[in-house]
């Protein structure tokens, strides 16, 4: 490989201005129009040298042992360092490169856990608990990985660099490859007296009970983030985050729809006809619900502000009570007679079916009119 510094008469630590000045001087000296046609090859050599040394990236490649103008030529007796070349273009991931030793302290990964809550906690919020098993800081060594009173020592193989080099022969010539030091695993230091609890890793497997603050109004399937509650990294590195998937259990009394709650109650026919008040179980305790006079099957009564808390506010949705009317299927003679008397006085016009292709609106009787008055 040609020595471009020698061609331009430069030292290897020459600055950009030195390179420009040397090029102007040498190009005038060996220009074929001035020096003669026999210096044409020398003039090309000067231009090649300047092309490489004036470009920072090409110069770095050349200093690493490879000629950018002839990359397959090898790099002299020792070849060229493939770790440096690939590291220049693809980062330091190729064999470690010469980026220095790998730090023992590494950030921890994120963790994921699940927590199950009841509908009441989803309504009001609260604190749930999740059991997680992950890496925690080793309390014996405080994350150093070494026994008390000892410290890591410099690796005798790589002399603290964290990587080693070796020359290999290939079809392209001799190449120098770089790889993490096997003795210290790229750290540059060796823990001769590792902590007996973490075996030099600075962290141990732990089981933790994590308190999770559940915001009021949270929806089923929501994911919460707990900063720095995840896995502690190697060497006692900073913990990652913990993500909690929240599952809301089905409730026996209520079904949720957004911020509203729905329930169904079954009432006697007499309550529907005459009206009635009763106590309803809610998440705020018992509340009075009124079945209006003349209530029809499928009617709904709403209790305002007793539903789910709206996320980010103090407002709450409603409870919607759907009414099912129980129609008696068995009557004794007295009850049968009473119903027949009622039919004779109330259903005298009910001789033919009312049929329509659309939902029917029944004629409003006294109960319906009273219901409208009090609505």
pLDDT bracket for residue 303 (50, 70, 90): very high
- pLDDT at position 375 is 41
pLDDT tops 60 at residue 51? yes
The reply to whether 236 falls in a domain is no
Q: Is residue 326 part of a domain?
A: yes
Query: How far is residue 24's CA from residue 122's CA, in Å, rounded to a whole number?
Result: 78
Is residue 295 a known part of a binding site?
no
Domain count of the chain? Answer: 2
pLDDT of 88 over the 80 cut: no
> In the predicted model, is pLDDT for residue 361 greater than 70?
no
Could you give the dihedral angle defined by the CA atoms of residues 293, 297, 303 and 309, in that order, rounded to the nearest 10 degrees? 180
Q: Which domain range does residue 22 map to?
A: 4-54
Burial annotation 250-273 (CB, 10 A radius, 16+ → b, else e): ebeebebeebbbebeeebeeebbe
The confidence score (pLDDT) of residue 87 equals 47
Whether the pLDDT of residue 125 is over 70: the answer is yes
Q: What is the pLDDT of residues 219-270, one digit of tens each?
A: 999 999 999 999 999 999 999 999 999 999 999 999 999 999 999 999 999 9
For residue 365, what pLDDT is reported?
A: 44
**Domain holding 38: CATH number?**
1.10.287.110
For 215, phi then psi, to 5°, come to -70, 145
Residue 87 lies in a domain: no
Q: What's the burial of 214, exposed, middle or buried (CB within 10 Å: 0-12/13-18/19+)?
A: buried
Instruction: Please check the confidence at residue 370 and state whether its pLDDT lies above 60.
Output: no
- pLDDT, residue 231, reads 94
Residues with Cβ within 8 Å of residue 218, at least 6 apart in sequence: 117, 122, 125, 246, 248, 311
pLDDT beyond 70 at 326? yes
Examine residue 258 and state whether it is found in any structural domain, yes or no: no
Question: 196 lies in a domain?
Answer: no
Instruction: Answer whether residue 37 shows pLDDT above 50.
Output: yes
263 in a labelled binding site: no
331, part of any domain: yes
Supply the CATH number for residue 304's domain.
2.60.260.20
Tokens 């292709």 sit on residue: 357
The predicted structure's pLDDT at residue 166: 77
Cα(282)–Cα(30) distance, rounded to whole angstroms? 99
Is residue 2 very low, low, confident or very high in pLDDT (cuts 50, 70, 90)?
A: confident
Within-domain flag for 29: yes
Whether residue 129 has pLDDT greater than 60: yes
**Residue 100's pLDDT band (boundaries 50, 70, 90)?**
confident
Confidence of residue 278 (pLDDT cuts 50, 70, 90): very high
Residue 187 in domain: no
């Amino acid at each position: 490989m040609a020595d471009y510094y020698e061609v331009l008469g430069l030292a290897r630590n020459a600055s950009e201005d030195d390179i420009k000045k040397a090029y102007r001087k040498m190009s005038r000296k060996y220009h074929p129009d001035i020096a003669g046609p026999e210096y044409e090859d020398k003039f090309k050599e000067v231009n090649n040298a300047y092309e490489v040394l004036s470009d920072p990236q090409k110069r770095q490649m050349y200093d690493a042992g490879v000629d950018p103008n002839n990359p397959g030529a090898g790099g002299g007796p020792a070849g060229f360092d493939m770790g440096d070349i690939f590291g220049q273009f693809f980062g330091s991931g190729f064999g470690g490169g010469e980026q220095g030793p790998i730090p023992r302290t590494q950030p921890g990964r994120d963790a994921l856990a699940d927590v199950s809550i009841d509908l009441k906690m989803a309504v009001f919020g609260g604190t749930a608990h999740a059991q997680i098993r992950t890496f925690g800081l080793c309390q014996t060594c405080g994350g150093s990985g070494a026994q008390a009173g000892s410290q890591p020592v410099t690796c005798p193989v790589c002399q603290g660099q964290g990587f080693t080099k070796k020359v290999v022969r290939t079809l392209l010539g001799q190449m120098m490859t770089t790889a993490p030091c096997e003795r210290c695993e790229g750290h540059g230091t060796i823990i001769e007296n590792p902590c007996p609890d973490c075996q030099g890793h600075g962290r141990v497997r732990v089981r933790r009970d994590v308190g999770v603050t559940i915001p009021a109004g949270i929806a089923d399937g929501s994911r919460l983030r707990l900063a720095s509650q995840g896995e502690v990294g190697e060497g006692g590195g900073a913990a990652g985050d913990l993500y909690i998937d929240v599952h809301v259990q089905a409730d026996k009394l209520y079904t949720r729809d957004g911020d509203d709650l729905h329930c169904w109650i079954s009432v006697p026919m007499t309550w529907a006809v005459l009206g009635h008040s009763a106590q309803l179980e809610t998440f705020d305790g018992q509340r009075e619900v009124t079945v209006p006079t003349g209530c029809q099957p499928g009617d709904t009564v709403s209790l305002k502000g007793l539903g789910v808390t709206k996320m980010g506010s103090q407002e709450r949705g409603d409870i919607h009570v759907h009414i099912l009317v129980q129609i008696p299927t068995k009557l004794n003679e007295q009850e049968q007679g009473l119903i027949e008397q009622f039919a004779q006085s109330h259903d005298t016009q009910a001789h033919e079916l009312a049929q329509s292709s659309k939902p029917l609106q029944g004629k409003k009787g006294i109960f319906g009119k009273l219901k409208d008055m009090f609505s």
